[in-house]
Structure 1
Amino acid sequence: MFMDTWMDVQPAAITQSNTQRATRRERHPIAFCVASLLAFFWLVPLAWVILVSFKPQGSNVMNATGWVTPPYTIENYIEVFTKAPVALWIWNSFLVAVITTFLALLLSTLCAFPFSLGSFFGSRFLMFLIAIGLMVPGEATLIPLYVVFRNLNWLDSYQALILPGIAIPFGVLLLKQFFDGLPRELFEAAMMDGCGIVRMLFQIAVPLSRPALAALGIFTFLGSWNNFLWPFISTTSPQIMTIPVGIPFFNSSYHTDYTLPMAANVVVSVPVLVAFLLFQKQIIKGISFTGLK
């Protein structure tokens, strides 16, 4: 009976949703046209990059008619992987981003849960210090970080690329607010049954906090993948470079020809585009979730 009712209601709900979207489009034709125009202007540079990446070296790519006229070639992509260690740079970026995201989520969770579980001596002062961390720009910490890692002999290493990104004040505050919204009765019942704090965290709080952890993980991963300034300062050898540092280093050798640098930029954009297509629902939910929080 319930399944029959659900099957009857679901198509009606979909039809009503489509009708509402069409009605909103009819009510705001100017806004729809403006949004379509902005989307077109956003797609033009993207189309230029892709088309130019397939043009032979030395082609005239400044004229729009030269974009869509043959000849085309894949030699640029072959040279990108043969003239520079692009595959190694992509692997370095992926490895650094994954490890940074895992450690940042673990550290933020372990830090946020005690603040949410109950007040302790100095908890307000410590939370105040964490909140102040949001006001400090990353550029202000570059010199102290460089001095610390130089004294530790960790410059030009994976430690230098990973460790500065695992302490995220925003992640601590976000997870604390989410933990505060969980029912206190769950933790009280677990404590009465003899459940320890660590078990309570990983068996109760973490499974219920998957939306917040997913949002924080996505933003941390993308931030680590796109990070340029600190990897540019802390690394010097091509074997340790990440892709945001390696591609400008590669493009600097080609000042007049656009075809080879554009092919390199397309190669760099593919992993991020694939990640967005696979996790676009989680990214949209994460943006709305962090906005509400």
Structure 2
Amino acid sequence: MKWLYRIFSVFMAFLFAAPLVWMLVVSIKEEGMKIITVADWFKPPFSFAVYKEVLMGTKLTNWIGNSILVAVMVTVLTVIIAAMAGFALSKIPFRYRAVMFFFVLAGLLIPGEATIIPLYQVAKDMSLLNSYRGLVIPALASPVAVIVLKSFFDGIPNDLIESVQIDGGGVWKIFTRIMLPLTRPALASMAILTFIGSWNNFLWPFLSITDDNLFTLPMGIPTLMSQYSEDYVKPMVVNAIASVPIIILFVIFEKQIVKGISMSGIKG
């Protein structure tokens, strides 16, 4: 029976890897090659000249830098805010704490598309459009991260908190010395998922950014695709280059990504 599972696993791995292999092979073909059969795609000659042309002749590297900058800022600030909110909802007694938790929980029931018009109006009134601030600030509210981190904080015994309080430690010491180290796996998982979500975000940058120097990859790639509608090689080169950072991230943090998906209940 084990060999059936192995064969199935190899088949599924090949199925998921085939598009990546296809993209890489096509991206190193020479432009204008005559293609008659599928096998012609895998025959030499091969060339990296189109890579140089795309990197030097487009704003792709600038868009990659924008995506990395925005994703890192959103990830760091979101995790910090969600950790503090989750800690407050879990361990700090205050009036209407349960009401506040259900208020955060209700944020999961409202799709982002339903708030996009008022969000745009608020960003316009605050002069956030066409700026990095406009890309980062609206993405910082993450009910999923708050709820997941709160559940982890709930699992930490109150005896640890009381022992720190007896030694004279305040709320900030409890949060930084006890809570954050014990919830490091959850923090890492939420950080990775937040980074991927920000990296793939298209709708809000599409509405809030008109300056192509501030484009992120999800906005910039369709722009380049429209220029190469009759070509196969350049679109594949663009996608290959754009895929490198997120593939590296997945290879390094594969276990945390899988764990984060299982913790947050995201399926896909």
User: What TM-score, normalized to structure 2?
Assistant: 0.94
* 205-214 vs 57-66, greater mean Cα deviation: 57-66
Q: Tell me how far apart the structure 2 counterparts of residues 262 and 61 of structure 1 sit (CA, whole Å).
A: 16
* 277-286 vs 107-116, greater mean Cα deviation: 277-286
Partner of 1:72: 46
Query: CA offset at residue 63 of structure 1?
Result: 3.0
Aligned length: 266
Q: Tell me how far apart the structure 2 counterparts of residues 192 and 39 of structure 1 sit (CA, whole Å).
A: 54
Query: CA offset at residue 46 of structure 1?
Result: 1.7
Q: Tell me how far apart the structure 2 counterparts of residues 96 and 84 of structure 1 sit (CA, whole Å).
A: 20
Asked if structure 2 preserves the Cα contact closer than 8 Å seen for 1:52 and 1:61, the reply is no
Q: Tell me how far apart the structure 2 counterparts of residues 141 and 266 of structure 1 sit (CA, whole Å).
A: 33
SS at match of 1:135: coil
Q: Does 1:183 align with 2:151?
A: no
SS at match of 2:156: coil
Asked if structure 1 preserves the Cα contact closer than 8 Å seen for 2:79 and 2:191, the reply is yes
Asked if structure 2 preserves the Cα contact closer than 8 Å seen for 1:51 and 1:67, the reply is yes
1:12-70 deviation line (CA, Å, top 9, x unaligned): xxxxxxxxxxxxxxx24434333322322222222211111011112245731111111
Asked if structure 2 preserves the Cα contact closer than 8 Å seen for 1:215 and 1:290, the reply is no
Partner of 1:225: 199
Query: CA offset at residue 202 of structure 1?
Result: 1.0
Query: CA offset at residue 118 of structure 1?
Result: 4.0
User: Mapping of 1:36-75 within 5 angstroms?
Assistant: 36-61=10-35, 63-75=37-49
1:219-263 deviation line (CA, Å, top 9, x unaligned): 001111111111111111111011111111111101110101100
SS at match of 2:78: helix
Q: Tell me how far apart the structure 1 counterparts of residues 176 and 82 of structure 2 sit (CA, whole Å).
A: 13
Aligned equivalent of 2:209, options 213, 220, 235: 235
Bigger Rg, which one: 1
Cα distance change of structure 1 residues 117 and 62 upon mapping to structure 2, 3 Å threshold: farther
Query: CA offset at residue 177 of structure 1?
Result: 0.7
* 55-64 vs 100-109, greater mean Cα deviation: 55-64
User: What TM-score, normalized to structure 1?
Assistant: 0.86
Partner of 1:260: 234
Query: CA offset at residue 124 of structure 1?
Result: 1.1
SS at match of 1:55: coil
Q: Tell me how far apart the structure 2 counterparts of residues 137 and 168 of structure 1 sit (CA, whole Å).
A: 12
SS at match of 1:215: helix
Q: Tell me how far apart the structure 2 counterparts of residues 137 and 29 of structure 1 sit (CA, whole Å).
A: 44
Q: Tell me how far apart the structure 2 counterparts of residues 184 and 205 of structure 1 sit (CA, whole Å).
A: 11
Q: Does 1:102 align with 2:81?
A: no
Query: CA offset at residue 179 of structure 1?
Result: 0.5
